[in-house]
Structure 1
Amino acid sequence: MELYTYYRSTSSYRVRIALALKGLAYQSLPVNLLQGGQRDAAYVAVNPQGRVPALRTDGGDLLVQSPAIIEYLEEVYPQPALLPVMAEVRAKARGVAAIIGCDIHPLHNVSVLNRLREAGHDEGQVSDWIDHWISQGLAAVEQLIGDEGFCFGDTPGLADVYLIPQLYAAERFNVDLGGFPRIRRVAALAAVHPAFASAHPARQPDSPAQ
């Protein structure tokens, strides 16, 4: 498989974690968002939306949008599973993933932040916007995840795949995570898990840390 990715993209980070948890090999194809690589004609021919990630499967199909890619991986490579056995817990995990993927991340996407700047908002107002939406969303997640282990059990799953990249973004934007002990517990477990470590932005071939 081939993954079009950007080291600091949280949606790309999700897919990298899912691939790593399932032990799936892939070739990383970096798209430099800061240099406008997502707008290059060659990449727009791959993904008409001009965003990352995009995954080319072993069969040659091109998939876009991290939720769809992760669902594909779960369906085609069901073990180890990212979703719990119980239907109710699966729904809870999907709910947390949706809070992050639908209600938090899109509101601090670089395209949204640039539109705020273009509308005349200064950097202080942009920072307040980011802090508000990330803090509000994580406050809900804090109440919805379990008291032990990862978000919903002893092994990482879908909710963790979404949560850890969002925490990376929160730290980048200096959002205070002190009031979220459950979330910080999950973060500590992920920090020593090899799949999360291998997917971390600092470990990617296009990272300045490399």
Structure 2
Amino acid sequence: MLTLYSYWRSSASYRVRIALALKGLDYEYRPVHLVKDGGEQHAAGYRAINPEGRVPLLIDGDFKLGQSLAILRYLDARFPERPLVSAEPREAARAWQFCEAINADIQPLHNLGPLGYLSKTLGVDERQRETWIRHWIDRGLSALEAEVADQPLESAVFGDSPGIADCCLVPQVYAARRFGADLARYPRLMALAARLESLPAFIAAHPDQQPDAQPG
């Protein structure tokens, strides 16, 4: 059985949980608390299996893999029955571009590591930190709103069924809500996210449904 090291509120872990649910794959969930006791991801035991000290981490037998987009690629190759990526090269490339806009340009800038550096090392106060977060979320989602302007957005970002772009969009919308972003600026993305969030796979992967979820 697959094993997923995850944190309930981690956007990157959320992406992988959606992909696993879309593919109907069973897995063992092992929580890694990113805040408790300075962060369990820094503990020697976890670092021994994942030197990056991050989540998610997927284990498949004697194979282990970190980084959410790498995991999504692996899952599609390992379990091809319910593909997350189109076989058409241009459609696939456009979907990966959408994912990278979130994975590289938005989500890392509101990650615990950079936020901790802003506060503890650079002395940025809470108000400035929140301004920083919302600036990068707005910059990124504004671009993605324009990117999908020519898409029908009836069922998924690209195509008729959810794929990798949807695995990345919904967690980013969840994070944007957490940080108080003005989501009314992105009506097409929000309409799509609302439809996706009602699907069984997305409900099962939601942070509040995870065994390590906490109130508030």
Same fold (TM over 0.5): yes
Aligned to 2:67: 65
Residue by residue, what CA displacement relative to the aligned partner does 1:135-194 show, whole Å, maximum 9, x if unpaired? 110111111122322101221111010010000100000101101111012111112100
Aligned pair 1:23/2:29, yes or no?
no
- What TM-score do the two structures reach when normalised by structure 2? 0.94
C-alpha deviation, 1:112, in angstroms: 0.2
Aligned pair 1:194/2:184, yes or no?
no
Is there any run of 5+ residues in structure 2 with no aligned partner, and where?
none
In 2: Cα distance, 1:88 partner to 1:71 partner:
16
Secondary structure of the corresponding residue to residue 103 of structure 1: coil
Alignment of 1:148-187 (within 5 A): 148-149=153-154, 150-187=156-193
Aligned pair 1:125/2:128, yes or no?
yes
Contact 1:104 1:137 in 2 (8 A): yes
In 1: Cα distance, 2:86 partner to 2:64 partner:
27
C-alpha deviation, 1:85, in angstroms: 3.3
Secondary structure of the corresponding residue to residue 178 of structure 1: helix
Residue by residue, what CA displacement relative to the aligned partner does 1:40-66 show, whole Å, maximum 9, x if unpaired? 111010111111110111x22111111
Aligned to 2:6: 5
Pairs aligned (count)? 208
Give the percent of matched residue pairs that are identical in Structure 1 and Structure 2.
Answer: 47
Contact 1:147 1:182 in 2 (8 A): no
Contact 1:4 1:55 in 2 (8 A): yes
Contact 2:170 2:197 in 1 (8 A): no
Aligned pair 1:51/2:51, yes or no?
no
Aligned to 1:203: 209
- What TM-score do the two structures reach when normalised by structure 1? 0.96
Contact 1:5 1:12 in 2 (8 A): yes
Cα RMSD of the aligned pairs, angstroms, is 1.0
C-alpha deviation, 1:69, in angstroms: 0.8
- The amino acid across from 1:61 in the alignment is F
Is there any run of 5+ residues in structure 1 with no aligned partner, and where?
none
Aligned to 1:140: 143
Secondary structure of the corresponding residue to residue 28 of structure 1: strand
